[in-house]
């Protein structure tokens, strides 16, 4: 929809006339930089993000341009995370007024984001499941999926190996951590989530999508949002089994995704995180964002990076999917942002999946080929894609955050992740000139260089435990390793899967 702003231009005639009459004599440097992309198919019509310079406020901006911004267009909202605002308005207002404010750092025409592309194939089938047994200090699941088992050991394992179904984890992994799933929606009442899934801010409809396409549940074809959420924090399949799942619906199957709406959602998540941190008596242990969207670097990404920087500074790690284009991830944002944790996919043989992106931006790899997870209508399914690898990594990070209450220090979260992941396990078939990291996601439970009373490398020890270790000596390690450990048995899982499973891909603009 293009706004008719003739009445605005009439009201501002004197201002614009003056601007026009003097523009020929003005140096172009007097205008704030402006970015617009040549491919009109990727540009959101009449949609702009305006960023202010440091210490420039919205009131300063209003005083300079002399009119109320909200009266000039529609879809106006302030973005504290930039800082600046979004507005849909006629281009003449941008050049005639807004860019002339010396407090404006830049103006950028907003673009569409590229969602994961759903394959055209039959449904993956279903998996059977039952309830899990009670929790202890440490848990070893005897019948976990191979994908989970691979992420708690320090070696390569195959389906035929002893321990190929054993997943070790801290019993409260992810507790009091909020994992925000910015995706197609999550069915919060799915049995996999055990009552730990919530709609963001209690929304009954997403404010980031237009009705009638804004229902909060998972509206993807295969259960994309449900699958990510279950691998991050599901009772059966998650790596952060006690984390909270926060459904932030930003994608709909029928609607093109606009980056300014993603930025608006990130701004709201950051505000919610900061509000929880202010309650010092709260058990709140931190927030994580999972994002499975991407665009080519030719479409800029400057507003999104500004937002992600602010989110990270607030103490929130951003976990993003590398994408499924078999391409250099350096060409895709937000994967190529240094503030992102960019995750690629490998198969059960530790080989890069043929469709996973690669290159220097990759932080870590995780299983992503035909992984069992929550599906639609309360059922279970098997899907493939880097989005699901990102879910595993988000859940693993929640382990460290919940144990140490790391709600403000992303650098320490990154250190824990790096100290506990496995290096050199991947069978490298990456292009050698792109230097893709050979790192594999792990919760660190079986790392040989951790103390036996630690759930992972770097976990702080209580003073009494340190003294006990000193008094008993190194020979006490074996007896202390399983102190308070129980065995949890999961049901046997027999998936019915069509050949190849389902690959959820990225669509290039």
Residue 369 pLDDT greater than 90, yes or no = yes
Mean pLDDT of 225-242: 97
Can you tell me the distance from the alpha carbon of 476 to that of 465, in angstroms, rounded to the nearest whole number? 12
All structural domains of the chain with their residue ranges: 30-112, 117-448+489-506
CA distance 418 to 481: 22
Say whether 389 is catalytic.
no
Other CB atoms within a 10 A radius of the CB of residue 91 amount to: 15
Torsion-angle region of 399 (φ positive above 0: left; ψ -120 to 50: alpha; else: beta) = alpha
pLDDT of residue 255: 66
Which of 427, 440, 381, 311 has its CA nearest to residue 118?
Answer: 381
Q: Does the annotation count 183 as an active-site position? A: yes
Query: Is residue 173's pLDDT more than 80?
Result: yes
Average the pLDDT over each of 170-179, 291-300, 395-404 and give the range with the smallest value: 291-300
pLDDT tens profile 326-360? 899 999 999 999 999 999 999 999 999 989 999 99
Q: How confident is the model at residue 6 (pLDDT cuts 50, 70, 90)?
A: very low
478 a catalytic residue? no
Q: How confident is the model at residue 55 (pLDDT cuts 50, 70, 90)?
A: very high
Asked if residues 248 and 269 have their Cβ atoms less than 8 Å apart, the reply is: yes
Which conformational region is residue 120 in: left (phi greater than 0), alpha (psi within -120 to 50 degrees), or beta? beta
Residue with tokens 């409260």: 172
Does pLDDT of 138 surpass 90?
no
Q: Single out the catalytic residue among 56, 86, 169, 224.
A: 224
pLDDT at res. 431: 64
pLDDT: is 134 or 168 the higher one?
A: 168
Q: Which of 129, 171, 387, 398 is catalytic?
A: 387
- Say whether pLDDT at 220 is over 80: yes
Residue 38 has pLDDT above 70, yes or no: yes
| pLDDT score for 256 | 78
Q: Which residue has the higher pLDDT, 295 or 49?
A: 49
Question: Average pLDDT of 34-43?
Answer: 82
User: Residue holding tokens 């340190």?
Assistant: 466
Q: Is the pLDDT of residue 459 over 70?
A: yes
Confidence of residue 67 (pLDDT cuts 50, 70, 90): confident
pLDDT at position 409 over 90: yes
505 or 203, higher pLDDT: 203
Query: Which residue in 183, 187, 268, 325 is the catalytic one?
Result: 183
In the chain, the N- to C-terminal Cα span, in Å, equals 21
Least confident of 87-101, 192-206, 307-321: 87-101
Task: Check whether 476 has a pLDDT greater than 80.
Answer: no
Dihedral of alpha carbons 429, 430, 435, 441, sign: negative
Bridging pattern class, strands 43-52 and 84-88: antiparallel
Kindly indicate the confidence band of residue 126, based on its pLDDT and cuts at 50, 70 and 90. low
Rounded mean pLDDT of the chain?
Answer: 82
117 backbone dihedrals φ, ψ, rounded to 5°? -90, 130
Task: Find, among 392, 404, 409, 405, the residue nearest to 457 by Cα.
Answer: 404
Model's pTM, two decimal places?
0.84
CB distance 398 to 140 below 8 Å: no
More confident residue, 474 or 200: 200
CB atoms within 10 A of CB 59: 8
CATH number of 30-112: 3.30.70.80
Cα separation, 209 vs 64, whole angstroms: 32
Range scoring the smallest mean pLDDT among 174-188, 428-442, 467-481: 467-481
Name 435's bridge partners. Answer: none
pLDDT (mean) for 41-50:
90
Task: Give the per-residue pLDDT at 30.
Answer: 82
> Domain spanning 117-448+489-506: which CATH class is it, in words?
alpha beta
Bond prior to 361 in cis (omega within 30° of 0) = no
Q: CA quadruple 421, 422, 424, 426: dihedral positive or negative?
A: negative
d(CA 258, CA 111): 6
Of the pLDDT bands very low, low, confident and very high (cuts 50, 70, 90), residue 378 is: very high
What average pLDDT does this structure show over 48-67? 92
pLDDT band at 271 (very low <50, low <70, confident <90, very high): very high
3-class SS string, 346-366: ECCCCEECCCCCECCCCCEEE
User: How would DSSP label each residue in 292-332?
Assistant: --BEEGGG--HHHHHHHHHHHHTT--EEEE--SSSSBGGGE
The answer to whether the 30-112 and 117-448+489-506 domains have the same CATH topology is no
Q: How many helices (H) and strands (E) does the chain have?
A: 12, 24
Confidence band of 3 (pLDDT split at 50, 70, 90): very low
pLDDT at res. 16: 42
Q: Which of 81-85, 177-181, 478-482 has the lowest mean pLDDT?
A: 478-482
Mean pLDDT in residue range 13-40: 59
User: Tell me, what's the pLDDT at 70?
Assistant: 78
The first and second tokens of residue 217, run together, are 């549940």
Mean pLDDT calculated for residue range 86-99: 92
């Amino acid at each position: 929809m293009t706004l008719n702003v003739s009445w605005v231009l009439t009201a501002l005639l004197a201002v614009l006339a003056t601007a026009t009459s003097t523009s020929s004599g003005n140096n172009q440097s007097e205008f704030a930089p402006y970015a617009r992309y040549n491919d009109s198919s990727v540009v959101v019509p009449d949609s702009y993000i305006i960023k202010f310079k440091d210490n420039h406020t919205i009131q300063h901006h209003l005083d300079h341009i002399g009119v109320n911004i909200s009266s000039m267009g529609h879809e106006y909202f302030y973005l504290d995370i930039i800082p600046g605002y979004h507005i849909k308005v006629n281009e003449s207002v941008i050049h005639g007024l807004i860019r002339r404010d010396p407090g404006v750092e830049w103006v950028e025409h907003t673009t569409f984001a590229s969602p994961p592309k759903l394959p055209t194939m039959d449904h993956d089938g279903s998996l059977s499941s039952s309830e899990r047994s009670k929790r202890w200090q440490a848990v070893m699941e005897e019948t976990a999926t191979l994908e989970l088992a691979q992420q708690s050991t320090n070696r390569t394992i195959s389906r035929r190996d002893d321990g190929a179904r054993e997943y070790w984890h801290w019993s409260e992994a992810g507790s009091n951590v909020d994992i925000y799933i910015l995706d197609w929606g999550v069915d919060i009442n799915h049995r996999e989530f055990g009552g730990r899934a919530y709609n963001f801010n209690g929304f009954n409809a997403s404010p980031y999508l237009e009705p009638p396409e804004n229902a909060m549940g998972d509206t993807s074809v295969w259960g994309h949002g449900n699958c990510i959420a279950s691998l991050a924090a599901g009772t059966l399949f998650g790596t952060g089994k006690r984390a909270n799942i926060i459904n932030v619906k930003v994608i709909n199957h029928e609607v093109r995704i606009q980056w300014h709406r993603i930025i608006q959602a990130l701004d709201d998540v950051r505000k919610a995180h900061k509000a929880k941190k202010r309650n010092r008596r709260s058990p709140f242990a931190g927030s994580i964002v999972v994002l499975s969207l991407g665009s080519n670097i030719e479409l800029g990404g400057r507003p999104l990076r500004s937002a992600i920087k602010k989110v990270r500074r607030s103490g929130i790690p951003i976990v993003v999917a590398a994408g499924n284009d078999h391409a250099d991830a350096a060409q895709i944002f937000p994967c190529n942002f240094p503030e992102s944790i960019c995750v690629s996919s490998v198969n059960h043989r530790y080989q890069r999946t043929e469709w996973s992106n690669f290159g220097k931006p990759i932080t870590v790899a995780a299983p992503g080929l035909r992984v069992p997870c929550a599906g639609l209508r309360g059922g279970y399914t098997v899907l493939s894609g880097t989005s699901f690898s990102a879910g595993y990594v988000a859940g693993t990070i929640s382990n460290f955050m919940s144990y140490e209450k790391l709600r403000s220090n992303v650098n320490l979260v990154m250190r824990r992740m790096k100290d506990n992941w496995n290096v050199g396990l991947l069978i490298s078939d990456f292009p050698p000139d792109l230097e893709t990291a050979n790192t594999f996601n792990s919760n660190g439970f079986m790392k040989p260089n951790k103390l036996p009373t630690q759930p992972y490398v770097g976990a702080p020890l209580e003073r009494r435990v340190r003294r006990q270790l000193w008094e008993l000596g190194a020979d006490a390690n074996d007896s202390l390793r399983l102190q308070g450990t129980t065995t949890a048995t999961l049901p046997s899982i027999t998936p019915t899967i069509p050949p190849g499973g389902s690959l959820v891909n990225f669509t290039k603009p």
